[in-house]
Amino acid sequence: MAPFSTPSIHGVLPVEAGLFDHSNLHQTGSFLRRLVMTKRNLSPPGHLETTSSQSGQRSEPSGLSQLPLSPNISKCCGSDMVPKRDSLGCQCVYPIKIELLLVNISSNPDWNMFLEQFAYQLGLRVSQIELINFFMVSISGLNISMDITPHKGLSFVASEASAINSSLVMHTVHLNPSLLGNYQLLNFTWFRPLEMSEAPASAASPAAAPSNIVSTPEAVATLRKSTRPGLVLFTGVGAFLLMAAIIATVVIRSRTSRRKKCNKYFDAAAKQMTPETFPASSGSLRLPASTRFLTYDELKTATNNFESSCILGEGGFGRVFKGRLGDGTPVAIKRLSNCGQQGDKEFLVEVEMLSRLHHRNLVKLVGYYTNRDSENLLCYELVPNGSLESWLHGPLGLNCPLDWDTRMKIALDAARGLAYLHEDSQPSVIHRDFKASNILLENNFHAKVSDFGLAKHAPEGRTNYLSTRVMGTFGYVAPEYAMTGHLLVKSDVYSYGVVLLELLTGRKPVDMSRSCGQENLVTWARPILTDRDRLDELADHRLKGNYPREDFSRVCTIAAACVAPEASQRPTMGEVVQSLKMVQRAAATELHRQCSIVVHPRQQAFESDASSSMFSSGPYSTFDNNEFINGTLVYSEDLQEGR
């Protein structure tokens, strides 16, 4: 038996099982990316709060008691085989084992309808599917395991297994909303028999000839008959080698043709993306002169031939190198991997986006390059002080943790960058992958938003966009986008709220090392955010209590509004910017007031307006109206770019 598995989050595989890892689907566009070998132990998905179906600690929905689990599997079959359903006797086959996470299941689901829809859309019969086990995940989630047996033959062929896996990964199986809200493939294991290897020694070893050979016509005929198997074997081996040579030739020519097509695509892209020929129609702006089409030699020289010591970081997209151009400009060069439609699309999107988006809180694109070796290269300004993630959760912040004022500076800068994308660019841009690792810091800790490969234009005149594939990073993705595919500008606001909670608490969005119930940052923090008396529980211990309590409370209110479950309850990023500026001004006013009491006790530093508040309306307008001063004080930097 040779199992091939494609786990999506936390797969459950037999020991010594091989798996195809597709954890970065959105970067390749393929559901089979690369072959790796691993060993894993049986465990529920680690990132979610689970409740075993046998624990008895939580009451199950009534419908779960009717889950049509199959009886105990007979032991008449060998390892990794199961008896075929409705077969006479003990007919054993190799199954496909699937583990699914069902989200927002009905309290009394119709499992027969579920099996019928599931089987029909996968091109299967209901009799081919057997439900093996289940356990509860959180309140409305269910983890189920099932076996799918082949209708004909001993096992599924590769094309059938690939089609089933692709349908589940790409969510082309649509189930009745009355049954469940969504589903996710956690594990996919395809079992098949080992291929029988040739045994040439036994095949090529005819029976020993007698020691005494009689030269008679009958003996000659017998000898000729005994040599025929050897001749057949020799002919078969020769035919096999000839066939292998033909196949190798076809494969080489096919790859060469594919490389030529890829090069033609890059030639066309390079021609289209040069400043002289970039189209000004179709809603795209002409590339500014500041965005250069760089040569490969320039980038190669800048990074000392892409030396490993110049690597700043690495991700699913490729590697980022630190370099210096010929004119002395320090740069960061992203070397994208793979020639394919999805990779090319992300490259062109990022070039087009950054070539027309200019803001002091967005990373600037210096230049770009495409070549005939199926490579895409992007050259950015160098932001030298690392990412916010490395300062909050990595080595940079161990010896010198960020203080309160620095965290608020970063929060305001990141909010300004997102507000510019949502409200000041035309058309509006949804980032889709806003997170701490995509917030880069300068030496003075001013923040810049980076990585626009997944960004999308918000359609004009529409409040949402239905995405066929959910993209982003787990822990930052808004619930409405994860569950339904509806992408809103408020989806970015949720991601910003998660980052703001990271700044307040110093915790990761998802940390499985935490105790039960505290693994997910938003789930843990949300009830505390609504209780003023418990807000100190949220504070990062590395702050050592050195933060203004009132300001901390106000920022907690902003974070609570941003991570509201319903998108309609979240503020816009423009409102978030104004609220954070009001927090800063309130702190400045308090400091000035204290100084005024000493110098001029009767002089008032700023005028206040009792009508101002954190948010004009909504469930999170929790502060008294007189807590915030009027926004009459406008910083000069805000006059420059409207923020």
pLDDT digits (tens, 9 = 90+) for 506-535: 999 999 888 888 899 999 999 999 999 999
Task: Answer positive or negative: Cα dihedral of 116, 118, 120, 124.
Answer: negative
Distances (CA, A) of 134 to 50, 65, 67, 536: 11, 11, 9, 39
Phi, psi of 266 (to 5 degrees): -70, -35
Q: Are 451 and 349 in contact (CB under 8 A)?
A: no
Give whichever of 387-396, 494-503, 589-598, 607-616 has the largest mean pLDDT. 494-503
Q: Please report, for the chain, the start and end positions of each structural domain, with discontinuous segments joined by +.
A: 4-190, 292-381, 388-641
Quote the tokens at residue 615.
């948010």
Quote the tokens at residue 50.
């689970």
3-state secondary structure 230-259: HHHHHHHHHHHHHHHHHHHHHHHHHHHHHH
Quote the tokens at residue 236.
């078969």
What pLDDT shows up at residue 344? Answer: 66
From the list 147, 413, 433, 451, the catalytic residue is: 433
125-163 burial, b at 16+ Cβ within 10 Å, e below that, comes to: eeebbbbbebbbbeeebbbbbbbbbbeeeebbeeebbbe
Q: Are 317 and 333 in contact (CB under 8 A)?
A: no
Mean pLDDT, range 143-157, rounded to an integer? 89
| Cα–Cα distance, 431 to 419 (Å, whole number) | 11
Q: Are 56 and 65 in contact (CB under 8 A)?
A: no
Contacts of 319 (CB under 8 A, 6+ apart): 306, 311, 313, 334, 335
For the full predicted model, state whether its pTM sits above 0.75. Answer: no
> pLDDT tier at 399 (50, 70, 90 boundaries)?
confident
Mean pLDDT, range 419-424, rounded to an integer? 93
| Cα–Cα distance, 421 to 305 (Å, whole number) | 35
Helix, strand and coil content of the chain, in percent to the nearest 5, comes to 40, 15, 45
What pLDDT shows up at residue 316? Answer: 62
What pLDDT shows up at residue 220? Answer: 40
| Cα–Cα distance, 122 to 117 (Å, whole number) | 9
> pLDDT tier at 216 (50, 70, 90 boundaries)?
very low
Mean pLDDT, range 359-366, rounded to an integer? 93
Identify the CA nearest to 381 among candidates 417, 435, 333, 447.
Answer: 333
Amino acid at 317: F
Mean pLDDT, range 132-138, rounded to an integer? 78
Provide the pairing of β-strand 439-441 with 447-449.
Answer: antiparallel
334 is in an annotated binding site: yes
Residue 22 bridge partners (DSSP):
none
CATH superfamily of 292-381: Phosphorylase Kinase; domain 1 (3.30.200.20)
Catalytic site includes residue 433? yes
Q: Is the pLDDT of residue 295 over 80?
A: yes
Phi, psi of 134 (to 5 degrees): -155, 155
> pLDDT tier at 111 (50, 70, 90 boundaries)?
confident
- In the chain, the largest separation of any two C-alpha atoms, in whole Å, equals 136
- Which of the two residues, 575 and 59, has the higher pLDDT score? 575
3-state secondary structure 338-353: CCCHHHHHHHHHHHHH
Would you tell me how many other CB atoms lie within 10 Å of the CB of residue 374?
Answer: 19
What pLDDT shows up at residue 74? Answer: 56
* Strand, helix or coil for residue 366: strand
Q: Which fold has domain 388-641?
A: Transferase(Phosphotransferase); domain 1 (1.10.510)
What is the percent of the chain with per-residue pLDDT over 90, rounded to a whole number?
27
What pLDDT shows up at residue 518? Answer: 87
Tens of pLDDT, residue by residue over 296-336, are: 889 989 999 888 888 888 766 778 999 999 889 999 998 88
Phi-psi region of 125 (alpha: psi -120 to 50; beta: other; left: phi over 0): beta
**Listed range (174-178, 292-296, 306-310, 551-555) with the worst mean pLDDT:** 174-178
Give whichever of 11-15, 69-73, 366-370, 408-412 has the largest mean pLDDT. 408-412
| Cα–Cα distance, 298 to 472 (Å, whole number) | 32
Average pLDDT of every residue of the chain: 73
